[in-house]
Amino acid sequence: MRSTVGAFLLLSLLAVVGCVPDPMLVKDVPKQVDRWVAEEEYSKALRLLDRVISDNPQDASLQEQRKEILRLAAMYEQSVLREGRRLTQMGQWQEADELYARGLQKLPDSEGIAKAQAAFVARRAEHVRSLRTEVLINKGNWLARELPLQNQILTARPDDDRAKKSLKQAELEVEVTSTGLYLCGQRALDSRNNKLAVQCLALAEQLTPTTSVKDALARAEKEQLKKKAKTWRARRKKQEQFEADKARRLVDAYEDAYRADDLITARNALAELKTVEPKSDKVEQLELELEDAIGERVKRGMEESRRLYSQGKIQQALDNWRDLSKLDPENEDIKSHIARAERVLAKLRELSEKQPAAQALPVE
């Protein structure tokens, strides 16, 4: 009797400490710890080691061993989390479920694995609900085509018992499926999934056009329109904000270039700004400002170029006129000066090429 009671107390103790035996009952604690670590039973190894450490708090080797086990346990936890995400993304639900269960068996105190498992269970449940909804919709579409065909068969053969039985079965399935579709629409409305609500309720109305189904469908369609309008307004507001930010950047780019006397860059920034805000008063003011600046630059440049040309510095004058043409490409006066300077330079090159040949002729 005493031996029975003793055995019972020993089993109770093992249960209390999580199936970790008392160090006094284990012949070789280090080997048992190493064995559990090799089997990735980190929780068991840590509990046994902690009981040994409590009796030997000054043993540095035990503390180092404990740190190493904690490091391995953390690595194992991360590997479970990574593999669990990968399996879930690949749709390997059973493998992921077994992985999380095995991870919590080895690390029952892991908050990370517990949270990942809870998220996995919720995601799997949502996936299954989605599949069942798809099955329901497919069945509704099938019945919407099946029922008229069964009616046609019975119309052609009113005395056909098989046709009567098939029609009755189809009608029962329509009733059950339509109810399921109606409930699907209501749940979708409650969760603000208006697209699914309209899909389910429209099919339910096609199968059994009752007042309650029609009212629910009208509500779903109204909510869907409201959501579309809200989405459109949000998208429009975002676009307007984007355009306002872009316009602000272009104004800054224009003003920086204008202050640096880089009128071509300023003009390019202003041209792009005009596409963003074509009717802006600010753009009109900047256009007038830039037009005056370009006019003044062209006027000074024309005077300088004519002076260079008159001094025989034709290439420098031509370079100036070409730069001015970039500022004012429609200026016919600049185009005329460029053409004339190019003709003169071409003629000078021609004469220069002929002159050495003339100098090589023998003197009579």
What token pair was written down for 271?
Answer: 């041209």
Average pLDDT over residues 49-67: 78
Q: Residue 60's CB: how many other CB atoms inside 10 A?
A: 8
**Per-residue confidence band for 280, with pLDDT thresholds at 50, 70 and 90:** confident
Average pLDDT over residues 131-138: 96
Do residue 99 and residue 137 come from a single domain? no
Do residue 60 and residue 85 come from a single domain? yes
Q: Residue 171's CB: how many other CB atoms inside 10 A?
A: 14
Task: Answer whether residue 307 shows pLDDT above 90.
Answer: yes
Q: What is the span of the domain harbouring residue 88? A: 2-109
Determine contact, residues 180/157, Cβ cutoff 8 Å: no
- Range scoring the smallest mean pLDDT among 57-71, 244-258, 329-343: 57-71
Burial annotation 2-13 (CB, 10 A radius, 16+ → b, else e):
eeeeeeeeeeee
What token pair was written down for 156?
Answer: 């052609």
Domain boundary among 215, 236, 257: 236
Separation between Cα atoms, residue 166 and residue 172, nearest integer Å: 10
The pLDDT of residue 42 is 87
Q: Does residue 247 lie in a domain region?
A: no
Determine contact, residues 237/215, Cβ cutoff 8 Å: no
Task: Answer whether residue 28 shows pLDDT above 90.
Answer: no
Average pLDDT over residues 317-331: 91
The pLDDT of residue 57 is 72
Q: Does residue 8 lie in a domain region?
A: yes
Q: What is the dihedral of CA 230, 236, 241, 242, to 10 degrees?
A: 130
- The DSSP string of 256-298 is HHHHTT-HHHHHHHHHHHHHHSTT-HHHHHHHHHHHHHHHHHH
The pLDDT of residue 21 is 52
Task: Answer whether residue 362 shows pLDDT above 50.
Answer: no
Determine contact, residues 141/125, Cβ cutoff 8 Å: no
Separation between Cα atoms, residue 144 and residue 136, nearest integer Å: 12
Do residue 161 and residue 230 come from a single domain? yes
Mean pLDDT, all residues of the chain: 86
**Per-residue confidence band for 88, with pLDDT thresholds at 50, 70 and 90:** very high
- Of residues 363 and 240, more confidence is placed in 240
Do residue 131 and residue 93 come from a single domain? no
- What's the pLDDT tens digit per position in 197-228? 999 999 999 999 999 999 999 999 999 999 89
The pLDDT of residue 16 is 37
What token pair was written down for 262?
Answer: 């880089």
| This prediction's pTM | 0.59
Separation between Cα atoms, residue 207 and residue 209, nearest integer Å: 6
The pLDDT of residue 241 is 93
Q: Does residue 267 lie in a domain region?
A: no
Within 13 A of 144's CA, how many CA atoms are on the CB side? 17
- Range scoring the smallest mean pLDDT among 8-17, 43-52, 325-334, 337-346: 8-17
Q: Does residue 263 lie in a domain region?
A: no
- The DSSP string of 43-86 is HHHHHHHHHHHHH-TT-HHHHHHHHHHHHHHHHHHHHHHHHHHH
The pLDDT of residue 360 is 46
In the chain, the number of structural domains is 3
The pLDDT of residue 111 is 94
Closest to 80 (Cα-Cα) out of 45, 49, 105? 105
- Range scoring the smallest mean pLDDT among 44-48, 113-117, 229-233, 244-248: 44-48
The pLDDT of residue 221 is 93
Q: What is the CATH number of the domain that holds 149?
A: 1.20.58
Do residue 91 and residue 132 come from a single domain? no
Domain boundary among 48, 78, 109: 109
Q: Does residue 270 lie in a domain region?
A: no
Separation between Cα atoms, residue 268 and residue 326, nearest integer Å: 12
Do residue 191 and residue 217 come from a single domain? yes
Do residue 134 and residue 212 come from a single domain? yes
Domain boundary among 80, 109, 138: 109
Do residue 169 and residue 69 come from a single domain? no
- Range scoring the smallest mean pLDDT among 61-75, 80-94, 164-178: 61-75
Q: Does residue 265 lie in a domain region?
A: no
Degrees to nearest 5, angle at CA 65 with 63 and 67: 70
Average pLDDT over residues 248-275: 92
Q: Does residue 264 lie in a domain region?
A: no
The pLDDT of residue 58 is 65
Do residue 10 and residue 104 come from a single domain? yes
- Range scoring the smallest mean pLDDT among 5-9, 16-20, 115-119, 269-273: 5-9
Kindly state the percentage of the chain with pLDDT values over 90.
65
Determine contact, residues 133/196, Cβ cutoff 8 Å: yes
Residue matched to tokens 């069942």: 132
Separation between Cα atoms, residue 240 and residue 234, nearest integer Å: 10
- Of residues 11 and 77, more confidence is placed in 77
Q: Does residue 91 lie in a domain region?
A: yes
- Of residues 327 and 360, more confidence is placed in 327
Do residue 317 and residue 347 come from a single domain? yes
Helix (H, G, I), strand (E, B) or coil at 330: coil
Determine contact, residues 286/259, Cβ cutoff 8 Å: no
What token pair was written down for 28?
Answer: 């070789």
The pLDDT of residue 14 is 39
Do residue 24 and residue 105 come from a single domain? yes
Burial of 250 (C-beta count, 10 Å sphere; 0-12/13-18/19+): buried
Do residue 313 and residue 230 come from a single domain? no
